[in-house]
Amino acid sequence: MIVQPVPPLLGGILVLAAGTYLFRVAGPLLGPRLRLGVRARHLVDVAPVVLLTALVATAALLEGGSAAGAARPIGVVVAGALAWRRAPFVVVVIAAATVTAALRRLGVP
């Protein structure tokens, strides 16, 4: 039997996919067996809030490791203010994109 070599890029994508899936599936498969205490369960529950907030901060303020221009941060701050005042989700998201796009059209970086 002749085994065709896997093209490198295909192999890379499959390794990334397998590794990513292992990260994802570890919690749902092992979680029920871990028998976490109340304190550990609390930390596990707060962890996504911390991670998502860090994603918001870096995605809003940074671009490739340095400060982003002003348009996107302002758009996200406007969205955050609207969300804090319990504006509907649709309004919040459209406001972020519209404010950022409008500022860029006005020449704000």
Partner 1 sequence: MRSLFRTLGPSLLRDIVLVCLADAVVGMSYGAITTSAGFHPWVPVLASLVVFAGASQFLVTGIVAAGGSLPAAVAAGLLVNARHLPFGLAMGDVLGRGAVRRLAGSHLLIDESVAFALAQAHPRRRRAAFWTCGVSLFACWNLAVCAGALAGRAVHDTAALGLDAAFPAVLLALVLPALRTAAKARAAAVGAVIALVSTPLLPAGLPVLLSLAGLLMAGRPHPPAAPEGATP
Asked whether position 101 contacts partner 1 by CB under 8 A, the answer is yes
Asked whether position 52 contacts partner 1 by CB under 8 A, the answer is yes
Angle, helices 71-84 vs 38-61, to 10°: value is: 140
Q: What ranges in the chain are assigned the alpha helix state H?
A: 8-34, 38-61, 71-84, 89-105
Q: Which of 28, 35, 106, 107 binds partner 1 (CB under 8 A)?
A: 28
Build a one-symbol-per-residue string for 1-20: x at contacts with partner 1 by CB under 8 A, - elsewhere: -------xxx-xxxxxx-xx
Asked whether position 32 contacts partner 1 by CB under 8 A, the answer is yes
> Shortest Cβ distance from residue 93 to partner 1 (Å)?
5
The residue whose two tokens read 């950022």 is 100
